[in-house]
Structure formats: structure tokens, C-alpha cells
Amino acid sequence: MGEYRYQLNFGPQHPSAHGVLRLVLELDGEVVVRADPHIGLLHRGTEKLIEHKTYLQGLPYLDRLDYSSMMANEHAFCLAVEKLLQIDVPVRAQYLRVMFDELSRVMNHMLWIGTCALDLGAMTAFLFGARERESVFDIFEATCGARMHPNYYRPGGVYRDLPDRMPQYKSSLRSAEELAQMNANRQGSVLDFIDAFAKQLPSRVDDFETLLTDNRIWKQRTVGIGVVSAEQAVAMGCTGSMLRASGIAWDLRKKQPYAVYDRLDFDIPIGTAGDCYDRYLVRMEECRQSARLIRQCVDWLRVNSGSVMTDDRKVAPPPRAEIKTDMEALIHHFKLFTEGFTVPAGEVYAAVEHPKGEFGVYMISDGGNKPYRIKLHTPDFVHLSMLATMAPGHMLSDVVALIGTYDVVFGSVDR
């Protein structure tokens, strides 16, 4: 006690700093007096890099921002470009986008609960989370070839439709029964696999809840910690589950619907206390709602076929077969993949309800084939900025709970 204050460097290599956060803490005993987060250790200048690339070349950078919910990032970028180009996206592509957005949300929350519980001393949740994520990775891989950085959405639609077959496990080391069990829900199409995944998901979420919701240690670490009042949350720029945990039913999927969210049925969970525990409960319920959304999309996609890419040849490449016979198609293909498409001059802001909050893309075009300026608004940057005001008065161990429930990924904090 008294005047002596201890200065502690938390990170950048600390596992519960969730990446490369250097947090300079001033402690009085174990109580935090001042917290100064130093970010930017992962700063890559994504915005400037995209300004030097054509729109199609810029798209993969979006995957590398928040690398735990990649598809949602791509969605915001595509919405911004489509708004500037004033093109329509086929409905089937919009359903696919919503489905993959929700799969990303599940994937993000599974990583979040896994790592957050690990920080607060629970090991099993991480293993459960990794298991669910593996299924989503398999879906991504089957659909677009990449697991982590799918680069699946395109301005004007998505890269391709879902494949007819779900890849199966092959092994010379495992027994036939074991393989048959592993491949049990991989017998049909990718859509069948997604359907099975979504049907099973609520019970998998229950597994987490059995582990944590009434767990005495978990509650001691989270209940009443890091309380954000509703007014404070709005003034601090909170969005997404951070804002909803404080009791404000704000969700862009409902309030400013994009894609086909206005045709789907789902609820928005909100919290009452705005503490770490409520954020946990809100995110768990969001996983269940995502399962509902995914199943609605699956049902729609089963009965409705159609194109998944706009047929505007100034934006979307022509089919391969057409290139062989049609001169115009050949020219379009060549122009698209050499100089890219040009976007009319103007500026737009497109936002999506990202798993972490509002992810926005502010894009200025001067009529060129590359964006003139792109500003990426990432929710976790804003949420982490709250730490300096939230942490003082908490114990050192609570800072871990705070960072954990802010759900930060440094790819998108630092950009």
C-alpha cells in the first residue's frame, strides 16, 4: 500500500494477451491503477495496400484482418463495391453469403469461448471449440479450397456454388468401422453436411453451457467484472455483442438489414448487467440463433437453384466455355484479369454485423480500377480502446477476463 506503484508489461508475448498486445499496467498491489495498451505490433498497412491493388486483388486482404471470422469481413468489402457499382447480387448468392456469415459467427464464437475460458482456467472448452471449428474449416475447404483465408465472396456474388459432394476421410491406418463413423455425415453433399452441423450445433452449445454457465470458478471470474452501462457502451462506440450485453438490442442484421436477413427469422439476445458473464451468455445464444439461420438458409438453398454471380460482364468473368467461342467474352476476361473493373467515382460506407460488432468499410473511388481510399472500421479496435478506462480499479487477473471478453483479434485491431 502507499505510494509505490509497480509497472508491469503484460505481453506482447503473454498468451492471454490474445496476440501481440503490449499492455503497460501500473499496479498498486494487485489493483490496476493505469492501463496503457500499446497496439500496432501487427500493423501491416492493409488500407494502403488495398489502395494499390485492384478491387479483386484487394479482397484477400480482408480475410487477413479478423482471421477468425473471415467471410464477414469479405461481405462488408463486397457490399461497399456493389453499392458503388450499383449492381444487384443474385438471391442465391445472398443466401450463401448469409449462411457463410453465420458459419463464420459460430466459428468466431467457438474460438472466443475456447481461448477466453482457457485464459480463465478452463481447458476443456478450447478442445470443444476446436472440434466445431474443424467442421466449419472443412466446409470452407470443400466450398472454396482454403480453410483459413477463403476469398470466397466476390463483388457481384460468390466465387462458385456449393459442391455436390462432401470430401470424406481416407486413411490406411484407421479401421473400416472407425472411418465409417468419421464419414457418417459426409455421405451426401456439402449442403447435407452443413445441415447436419447446424442441427447438431445447439446441443454442442449446451456442452459449453454445462461446463461454464453454472461453474462456480467461471462465475467468480466473470460476474460483475468489467461492467459497461448502456449509455457508456454507446458513447464508447461499442457495437455487436458488447453493446447487446449492456442491454441495447442493436443488431445491424435487424436494424439495417443487408443481404437476405430481412427474410429470415431469428432473435437478438441481450444482456442486463453488461459484465463479462453477460457477454458470454449473449455469445452463446448467438450461436444458437446462427444455427437457426443456417438451417433456414439450407432449406432455401435446397429448393431454389440459380446463378451465384451477377451476369454483368464488366464485373464478373464470363464462363470458361464462352471464352472459347465468343470474342466479346475473351475480351472481357482479359480486361477483368489485367486491369480489373473500374468503379464509378463516389464514396460509400457499408457495414455488416460482424461476429465482434460493426465491421464497416468506408470506400472512396475516383473512378479508377483501384480504391482511392479505403478505411476499415473494425469493432475490436474500438472495444480494446475501452480498456484504458475500464481496467483501473480491477484486479490484475480481471484484466485477463476483460481482454478475453472484448473478443479481440490483432489482425483486425492493428490492420
Partner 1 sequence: MRPSLQQLKKALTGILGNGGAGFIEAHHELTLEVAAAQLPTTMRRLRDELSFDALIDVAGVDYRDFVDRDPEAPRFAVVYHLLSTRRNWRLRVRVFIEDGTALAVPSMVPLWPSANWMERECFDMFGIAFDGHPDLRRILTDYGFTGYPFRKDFPLSGHLEMRYDSEQKRIVYESVTIVPRDNVPRIVRGPHYGDDTPMSPSPDEPKG
Instruction: State which of residues 189, 213, 342, 397 lies at the interface with partner 1 (CB under 8 A).
Output: 342
Instruction: State which of residues 165, 174, 255, 263 lies at the interface with partner 1 (CB under 8 A).
Output: 255
Instruction: State which of residues 200, 256, 307, 397 lies at the interface with partner 1 (CB under 8 A).
Output: 256
Of 102-110, 190-198, 319-327, 360-368, the window that binds partner 1 (rule: CB under 8 A) is 360-368
Q: Are 93 and 308 in contact (CB under 8 A)?
A: yes
Question: Cβ of 149: how many Cβ atoms within 10 Å?
Answer: 16
**Count of residues of this chain found to bind partner 1 when the rule CB under 8 A is applied:** 55
Instruction: State which of residues 10, 126, 261, 381 lies at the interface with partner 1 (CB under 8 A).
Output: 381
Query: How large is the angle between the packed helices 70-85 and 55-63, nearest 10 degrees?
Result: 150
Q: How many residues does the chain have?
A: 415
Q: Annotate 22-72 with DSSP letters as a single string.
A: EEEEEEETTEEEEEEEE--TT---HHHHHHTS-HHHHHHHHHTTSTTSHHH
Distance between CA atoms of 48 and 39, rounded to whole angstroms? 18
Instruction: State which of residues 75, 154, 377, 394 lies at the interface with partner 1 (CB under 8 A).
Output: 377
Measured CA to CA in angstroms, residue 384 lies from 74, 239, 274, 315, 393 at distances of 22, 12, 16, 37, 17
Pairing relationship of beta strands 22-28 and 31-38 according to DSSP bridges: antiparallel
By CB under 8 A, tell whether 372 contacts partner 1.
yes
Judged by CB under 8 A, the chain residues 83 through 102 that form the site for partner 1 are 83-84, 86
Adjacent-strand bridge partners of 36: 24
Judged by CB under 8 A, the chain residues 99 through 158 that form the site for partner 1 are none
Show the cell assigned to 244: 447487446
CB of 230 to partner 1, least distance (A): 10
Q: Are 213 and 313 in contact (CB under 8 A)?
A: no
- Secondary structure of residue 190 in the 3-state scheme: helix
CB of 271 to partner 1, least distance (A): 16
Instruction: State which of residues 16, 20, 21, 54 lies at the interface with partner 1 (CB under 8 A).
Output: 54
By CB under 8 A, tell whether 414 contacts partner 1.
yes
By CB under 8 A, tell whether 251 contacts partner 1.
no
* Nearer to partner 1 (CB atom), residue 46 or residue 143: 46
Instruction: Summarize as ranges the residues that interact with partner 1 (CB under 8 A).
Output: 39-40, 43, 45, 47-49, 52-54, 57, 83-84, 86, 234-237, 239, 248, 250, 255-256, 314, 338-340, 342, 344-349, 351, 358, 360, 362, 364, 366-370, 372-373, 375, 377, 381-382, 384-385, 389, 414-415
